[in-house]
Structure 1
Amino acid sequence: MLQLEIPQVTVTEAIAAVTQRMRLQPHTDRIIARAGDMRAAEKLYVAAGHDGELHAVSADLPAIGGDGEYLEYAYDGGLVTSKQGREIYDQIMEGAPHERCPLCGRGIATTLDHQLPKSEYPILAIIPANLVPVCGPCNQKKSNKAPADASEMLLHPYFDELGASRWLRAKIHEETPARAEYFIQPGENWSTVLAGRVVRHFNFFGLRRQYAVAAAEKLATSRIRHAGLLDRGGPGELRLHLEEAAEDHWSVSGNTWEGALYTALAESDWYMNGGVNLM
C-alpha cells in the first residue's frame, strides 16, 4: 500500500515502441489505426483517476469494435516481448520504490499489472497509467473482474492519495511470544468511501496476516538486541531506539508494516518493562 508517481511515458510513446518492429503487419496497422482512440482513452483514464471515478470510466471510453485482440496483442506481443516495447515496460517498472510492490508493501515488484484488466478494457492495454509494477502473488491475486462501483475499486498507487498521517497501525499483544496485530486507522480527511476501499484492499490481499507473519520474524530476530538495550540503558534507551527505527521507516516509505511495528513496540509499556525478555 505504497503511493507511486504516475509514469512519465505516454501511450503515444508506447504505441511507437510496440509497432516499430512488429512482425505481424495486420496487427501493426490495426494498432496504429486506434492510436487516436488510445490517446483519448489515456486522457479520460487519468482524469477519472484523479477524480476517483475509474470504476465508471468504461462508459466514456472509445468503443473497440472488433479490435480487442489487436489491442491486447500490443501489450503481450509488443510491450512485453519486443526490444523497443520492453524499454517502456522496464521504465514503468523502475517506478516501484526500492523495487517493492505497492499493493502489499512487502513483495519484490517483478511484473506489470493492469489496474483495470486488459481483458475487460483492451483500449487501456498499453496505457502507462494503467500499468503498475507489482509482485507475482499480488498480480495473481487480482481478478479480471471490472469494478461495479467505487467500493469495489482496489487502491490505485498512482491516484489514491492517503495522506501523511499514520493510518497503518499495529497493537502488541502481551503474550509469549509477543504478537503484533495490524489494523487500519482511517486517516485525516478520508471520506467514508476511501476508508472502506483501504480496508477492502487490506483484507483482499490478506495484509493483516502477511504483516503479522513478517512482524513475528522481526520480533524473533530482534529480541537479543532489544533485550540488551533494555539491560544496558533501561526502558528509556530501548524506547528511543524503537522510536528512531520507526521514524526511519515512516520518513522513507510512509505507512509500512515495519514502521507500524516499531511504533507499536515503542508505545507498549509491557514490552519496555520486560516483555521483550519473555519472548
Structure 2
Amino acid sequence: MLQLDIPELTVAEAAVAVTLRMRLQPHSNRIRARKSDMETAELLYITAGHGETLHNLSGELPATGGDGEYLIYAYDSGLVASKAGRDVYDQILAGAPYERCPLCGRGIATTLDHQLPKSEYPILAITPANLVPACSTCNQKKSSKDPADASEMLLHPYFDNLGTSRWLGVRIHEESPARAEYFVTPANDWSAEFSERVVRHFTFFGLSRQYALAAAGKLATDRYQHARLLERAGPDELRLHLKESAEGFRSVAGNTWEGALCVALAESDWYVHGGMNDI
C-alpha cells in the first residue's frame, strides 16, 4: 500500500490523444462531444477524492446517456491500443514508484486499474485520476466491484494519506522454521472509519499472506549474512544493522513489508542472539 502523486495529465489531454487517429469517425465524434462532461466529471472526482466521498459520486456525475459504450471504447481501443493513447497510458503507469504496485506494495505495476469501474462510470473511463498503476494480480482481484458505501472503498493511492506513523506490524514466531505474521496497527491520528478501510484493503488483497510468503524468502536469504555479522560484531551491531535497514526501506516508500520485517527482527532478542540459525 503505497501513496502516489495524482497524475498531472488531464482528461482533456487524454481525450485528444485517444481520438487523434481513431479510424471510426462516429466513435471519435461522440467522444469529443463529451469532452466538457468528462472535464466536469474529472473536477467532481478529484474533489470527492480529497473529501473521501467517492462512493457518493454516481449521482453527481453528468449522465452518459447512450454514449457509455463510446466512452469505454475510448479506453479500450484508444488509451490502451492506439499509439498516442498508449503514450498517455504509459505516463500514468510510470507514476508507480520503482514500478511497484501501490495496491499491494509487492507486484510490478504493468496495468492501469480503474478505481471506480468504467462499466459503472463510463464518463470516468479515461480520467487519469481514476487510473491507478497496478500489478495484474491486484487488477484482476479488484475487478469491477462498485463500492456501495464508505466502508467498501479500498484505499486510493492518489488521495488516501497513510501518514508517517508506523502502522504495518510484524510478529516474529520464534520457531523452526521461523515465520513472520503481518497485521495493521492503526495510527493514532486515523479516524475509526479510515482504520476500517485500511484493514479492509489489507484483508481484501490478502496482504498478510502475501507479505508472510515474501518474508519467508527474505529470512532464508538473509540468514547467512546476519549470522556472520552476529559472529563478527555481536548482537548490538546486528540490531543496529536491522534498524538501519528498516530506515532505508522507510525512506524510500514508507511502511513496506521489508522495513516492517527488519523492525520486528531488530526488536527480537531471540533473533539477534542467534535465532536466524533456527530458520
If the TM-score is normalised by the length of the shorter chain, which range does it land in?
over 0.9
Which SS does the other structure have where 1:170 is aligned?
A: strand
- State the partner residue of 1:59: 59
Please, what TM-score do these two structures have when normalized by structure 2? 0.99
- Asked whether 1:33 is paired with 2:28, we answer no
Please give the residue correspondences for 1:19-30 in structure 2 after superposition, counting only pairs within 5 Å. 19-30=19-30
Give TM-score, length-normalised by structure 1. 0.99
**Whole-angstrom distance in 2 between the partners of 1:277 and 1:232:** 15
User: How far, CA to CA, are the matches of 1:18 and 1:187 in structure 2?
Assistant: 42
Task: Determine whether 1:214 maps to 2:210.
Answer: no
Tell me the percent identity. 71
Q: Is the partner of 2:169 in helix, strand or coil?
A: strand
Match of 1:247 in 2: 247
Residue in structure 2 matched with residue 190 of structure 1 by the alignment: 190
In the alignment, what sits opposite 1:90?
Answer: 90
Deviation at 1:32, TM superposition (A): 0.7
Secondary structure, in 3 states, of the residue corresponding to 1:180? strand
Alignment of 1:268 onto 2:268: yes
Q: Count how many residue pairs are aligned between Structure 1 and Structure 2.
A: 279
- State the match for 1:81 in structure 2: 81
- Equivalent residue, structure 1, for 2:167: 167
1:150 corresponding residue in structure 2: 150
Q: Which runs of 5+ in 2 are unaligned?
A: none
2-structure distance, mates of 1:187, 1:134: 25
Q: Please, what is the CA RMSD of the aligned residues?
A: 0.7
- What amino acid is the match of 2:267? E
1:224-264 residue CA offsets vs partner (Å, 9 max, x unmatched): 11111111111101101101110100111101000000000
Distance, in Å, in 1 between the alignment partners of 2:242 and 2:20 is 53
Displacement of 1:143: 2.6
Stretches of 4+ moved more than 6 A in 1? Answer: none
Offset of residue 274 of structure 1: 2.0
Report deviation, 1:169. 1.1
**What is the rounded CA distance, in whole Å, between the counterparts of 2:76 and 2:278 in structure 1?**
54
User: How far 1:188 moved relative to its partner?
Assistant: 2.8
1:66 match: secondary structure: helix
- Paired residue type of 2:52: G
Partner amino acid for 2:204? F
Report the residue type matching 1:278 in the other structure. D
The reply to whether residue 44 of structure 1 matches residue 44 of structure 2 is yes
Amino acid at match of 1:4: L
Give the AA of the match of 1:240. L
Any idea what SS the aligned residue of 2:177 has?
coil
2:152 paired with 1:130: no
Q: Give 2:215's aligned amino acid.
A: A
